[in-house]
Amino acid sequence: MIENRVLNMDDYGAMLRRRLRVILLPTLLAPIVGFLVSFAFTPKYTSQAGVLVEGQKVPQGYVASVVTEDLSQRIGTLEQKALGSDRLRPLIDKLNQQGILHGGNTDDVIDQIRTGLAIEPVQMVIVPNVTSGKGPRPGFGGSSKTTEIPGFNLKFTARNPREAQAICAGVTDIMLQENLRDREQVAQNTTDFLSRQVDDAKSNLNDLDAKLAAFKRQYIGQLPGDEDSNFKILTGMNSQLDATTQTLSRAQQDRTYSESLLAQQLAAWKSSQSASNPQSLQQQLALAQAQLISLQGRYTDDFPDVVKLKKQIADLQKKLDEINSAAPSTGVPPGAQANASEPPEIQQLRMQIHQYDQVIGQATREQSNLQAQIKVLQGRVALSPAIEEQYKQLTRDYETAQKFYGDLLAKKSQSAMQTAMEREQQGEQMRLQIPADLPDSPSFPNRLMFAAGGLGGGLALGIGIGLLLELRDKSLRNEGDVIAALQLPVLSQVPWVGAEVEGQNGNGKRRLGFMSGPGNRDKAEV
């Protein structure tokens, strides 16, 4: 192939025709070689089982699902649990007893199972619902939407078809059992946890309730709700205290006035009754006797003043004897007799003064009681802000604890329903949709794929060989090659006449072709 020249489609076609045998030979032989090479590999068989994930049978609006983990993550978790040594050893022992596995090291078999197992999620593809005249129709363009995973396929590859089927079925059964156990265990653990939390919340609520009750008993009448009533009671007591104070002041004034009247009337009455008073008579008698002794020391008994004084003494003694004789018969002391003989006005004044004393005593006691109660109420009102703050703190803690307890109780009931739903298998379940099949042909090696690979490799090899030969070929086959090789223009063309003459040179046989006319190509050897 001459370099420094632009090739066109005719040049490429000419190359393909010249090297067609070189390309076809490896292209036809390589698929046969690939097919034969596939028999050199140990065949492996793949068994597949399909698991369907059924949705929750109870509507989510009534009972929420207890498991919120993503399905793909849950499948990965189930796979790791199913591939654990504690789960695979019983399966291997069972298969050994059935003769499906032919002994061997258990750890090696476990590694083979882990290596040969594969899980492929099956995703549901939903094509958008299209109305007439709007958007693309299904199958005619438009985008589809992939929704949640409705299931997964479990594949296991082994050297023996029965072994592949048995291990695939066993691992699938382990995953299904683990799913049931995990969901029920999660629901039960959630219920147990919420039960403990409910008990703790109830104990805390009872403690706060006891503290709140003790606080109410300690500060009864001083709670925030009692503040208005305390103000009303304090206002009423102040009014009562004012009324009592006025009553006491008026009673004291009336008593003072009555006492002044009594003193005046007693003075008037005593002045009028001084002559008939025994004490006054005795004083008069003693005074007269003293005067008589004094006169008798100076005068005789016939002296007129002495006679008059003796007569006055006799009259006084007579009156005094009458009064003394009248006192034992009535059984009243002389002073009492004198009081008993007081006028009704004086007795009425004394009774009024006694009533005023009773009123003053009662008003004084009421005043003291009201002042003490007012002082207590004023202390309550003064302490109301601090007590209100403590009460609000206790009430806020109590309400928070009560709400927390109510929420936990509702969650516990919800969890109990979820646990019952899982036990009755009414929640989301994994069910075996397609049992593990018995493979009738090996999944590896795929002989058709080997043959196809050989075909592709042979084609590439043939094209490579043909290209290499063309690169090494320096023949001049047309006018373009001559111009590219000599870098001189063609002045004339000589048509070829006669038979071909073969010749050899250092590079082999070369032919020089000249175009004698459109559509005709002649060849000459150089």
Average pLDDT over residues 264-268: 78
Question: Tens of pLDDT along 400-443?
Answer: 988 998 998 888 888 888 778 777 767 677 888 889 998 888 88
**pLDDT score of 421:** 77
**pLDDT score of 443:** 80
Q: Please name the residues in contact with 315: beta carbons below 8 A apart, sequence gap of 6 or more.
A: none
Reported in sequence order, the residue ranges of 390-442 that DSSP labels E, i.e. its strands, are 429-434
Sheet containing strand 45-54, strands side by side: 117-122, 151-158, 45-54, 429-434
3-class DSSP state for residue 471?
A: helix
Chain mean pLDDT for the chain: 77
**pLDDT score of 221:** 67
Question: Tens of pLDDT along 342-354?
Answer: 778 888 888 888 8
| Domain ranges for the chain | 1-41+445-473, 45-182+425-434, 225-396, 475-526
Query: Whose CA is closest to 440, among 164, 170, 172?
Result: 164
% pLDDT > 70, the chain: 77
**pLDDT score of 278:** 63
pLDDT at 333 over 70: no
Q: What is the pTM of this model?
A: 0.51
Domain 225-396 has CATH 3.20.20: no
Concatenated DSSP letters for 490-513? --------S-------TT---EEE
pLDDT at 335 over 60: no
Question: Tens of pLDDT along 224-251?
Answer: 666 677 778 878 888 888 998 898 888 8
Q: Flag the least confident range among 93-107, 364-378, 501-515.
A: 501-515
Question: Tens of pLDDT along 164-214?
Answer: 999 999 999 999 888 888 888 888 888 888 899 999 999 998 998 888 888
Question: Tens of pLDDT along 132-160?
Answer: 444 444 444 444 554 456 888 999 998 88
**pLDDT score of 490:** 66
Average pLDDT over residues 257-275: 74
Concatenated DSSP letters for 331-354? T--HHHHHHHTS-HHHHHHHHHHH
**pLDDT score of 132:** 44
H or E element that contains 152: strand 151-158
- Range 257-260, long-range pairs (CB < 8 A, 24+ positions): 258/349, 258/352, 258/353, 258/356, 259/353
**pLDDT score of 61:** 64
Report how far residue 101's alpha carbon sits from residue 197's, in angstroms, rounded to the nearest whole number.
50
Identify the architecture of domain 45-182+425-434 in CATH. 2-Layer Sandwich (3.30)
Higher pLDDT, 474 or 16: 16
Average pLDDT over residues 115-122: 87
3-class DSSP state for residue 370?
A: helix
